[in-house]
Amino acid sequence: MTTDTPAQSVGSRIMTFTPSKEEFKDFSQYISYMESQGAHKAGMAKVIPPKGWKPRQTYDDIDDLVIPAPIQQVVTGQSGLFTQYNIQKKPMTVQEFRKTSNMDKSVSMVKS
């Protein structure tokens, strides 16, 4: 398993990882490896997929996937001063989440 970022920068910089094709096949296991290297301390990490990797064409087969802790973001404020907080919701499927997010009340208002 490989990382391009030296261990001494853990927690202070975003780490970059370049998994092999074999490592990329079990991405959950690779995430565990990244966390063992301290990638989670920065809150995010960059993963460069192996050469030849192609993203899936559609996501039609994930509707039954359960999101264990979906987050609703609430933003309030005016005149350049805003507050944003997250509300953790009950587990729901991707299909339920998509339906909720596409409801009119969930769509951001854009001033013209």
Q: Where are the domains of the chain?
A: 7-47, 60-103
pLDDT value for 11: 45
Contact 63, 95 (CB under 8 A): yes
Task: For residue 37, count CB atoms less than 10 angstroms from its CB and return exposed for 0-12, middle for 13-18, buried for 19 or more.
Answer: middle
- Low-confidence residues of the chain: pLDDT under 70: 1-12, 104-112
pTM of the model: 0.54
Place of tokens 């296991």: 29
- Please state, in angstroms and rounded to a whole number, the distance separating the CA atoms of residues 12 and 16: 13
